[in-house]
Structure 1
Amino acid sequence: MAEKGRCGLLVLHSSPLIRKAILDLFRGDPGVTVLGGCPHPTAVGSLPGRRPDVALVEYEQWQGVRGNLAYWSGTRVILYSRDNTPRSVVDCIRGGAAGFVHESCPPESIVKGLHDVLSGRSFWHLGADEPERA
């Protein structure tokens, strides 16, 4: 359960490694309580505590989230994806997502983006502008 003044975060992603990595980014963040992660929208009911204030959701899970609006009501959703085609991004916007994160997004930008969303702004990282150079 989130502590007073802190926002609850849920990560919904099919990969255990990605779920853990994203959750670990926020452990110790004074503004975020990590509520947990699960592989599929149907598993959220097994998580203890309250509903999340914000959820980072794998794009492929988006339809499942939209199919259970009663649970997700009041939760701001940021979608995480390997696919940044215009169709995917437009689908997110039309579906009411608060943000979109392409997998090329640096970890510190994900943290900043989540805080932007918690502050009522949107966050859109559509992909790396340029590849990193060694």
Structure 2
Amino acid sequence: MSDDHPMSSLSQQRVVVVADSFPVPRGAVAALLRHSGAADATHEAGTVEAALDALRRADAGMLVTEVDLAGRGDGVHLCREVKRLPRPPRVLMFTGAEDPAVVAACLAGGADGFVHRTATPERLVRAVETLAAGRPVWYLREHCGITELIPRTLRVHGMTEREQEVLGMLLARYSNDEIAAQLHLARQTVKNHVSSVLRKLGVTNRRELLTAQGPSWPRGG
């Protein structure tokens, strides 16, 4: 991500909306960000509608949201909606979901970062500060720890290293020919990798992957 983000004002970057269906974790994250200095002000929301309203009223520079709010996957829908705002905030998905399809949906939905809920408070604060500076942050739980990731270097369970590379390029909307050229592979080899990636994510085609509407959308939380 470029540092030339629409929300370039420090005061706007310091205003954060925290969206979570449960008030206790929502309040805890908001308090953590205020007390650490990562946010000058926070607003809390439990639904997509409340979050959109808070973002508009506060002219906030960042949204921290769960994948599931009032319904399954509506946090990703919220991400898509806020990215259409005239002054879109950065979006950090802070969730207990870890299925590769959820991660792919967050990426395709325009999220700027992803932090698994097993992250330490310090790591969450650091992620918010990093996003505010215009750099993407991707922390996924891997076995017993957290691995720092960026969209083009995903590490997801059950995929080979090559398939992870292909997934990253699919999410960046590369064609098969472009993937083949970038990775120096035969086109048929790329087609085989793409088919394997889509199958492992539980989607049948690129459109399902990029619109986050695959048939096996898992429950987050």
Which sections of structure 2, spanning at least 5 residues, go unmatched?
1-8, 69-74, 146-221
Determine what percentage of the aligned residue pairs are the same residue: 23
- Alignment match of 1:8 (pick from 8, 11, 15): 15
1:55-111 CA-partner distances (Å, limit 9, x unpaired): 101112221342454448420000012111111111111111111111111110000
Normalising by the residue count of structure 2, what TM-score does the alignment of the two structures yield? 0.52
Check the 8 A contact 1:101/1:126 in 2, yes or no: yes
Q: Are 2:52 and 1:38 aligned?
A: no
Q: Output the amino acid matched with 2:35.
A: G
Aligned to 1:83: 97
Aligned to 2:190: none
Q: In 1, distance between residues paired with 2:124 and 2:16?
A: 13
Aligned to 1:51: 59
Q: Output the amino acid matched with 1:34.
A: A
Check the 8 A contact 2:13/2:62 in 1, yes or no: no
* Greater share of helix: 2
C-alpha deviation, 1:49, in angstroms: 4.3
* Greater share of strand: 1
* Residues 72, 29 of structure 1: alpha-carbon distance in 2 compared, 3 angstrom cutoff: farther
Check the 8 A contact 2:96/2:116 in 1, yes or no: yes
C-alpha deviation, 1:15, in angstroms: 0.6
1:21-44 CA-partner distances (Å, limit 9, x unpaired): 101111234452223111012013
Q: State the superposition RMSD in angstroms.
A: 2.6
- Alignment match of 1:22 (pick from 29, 40, 44): 29
* Residues 4, 125 of structure 1: alpha-carbon distance in 2 compared, 3 angstrom cutoff: closer
* Residues 63, 112 of structure 1: alpha-carbon distance in 2 compared, 3 angstrom cutoff: same
* Residues 128, 105 of structure 1: alpha-carbon distance in 2 compared, 3 angstrom cutoff: farther
* Larger gyration radius, structure 1 or structure 2: 2
- What SS does the corresponding residue of 1:28 show, helix, strand or coil? helix
- What SS does the corresponding residue of 1:55 show, helix, strand or coil? strand
Which sections of structure 1, spanning at least 5 residues, go unmatched?
none
- What SS does the corresponding residue of 2:49 show, helix, strand or coil? helix
Q: In 2, distance between residues paired with 1:47 and 1:73?
A: 10
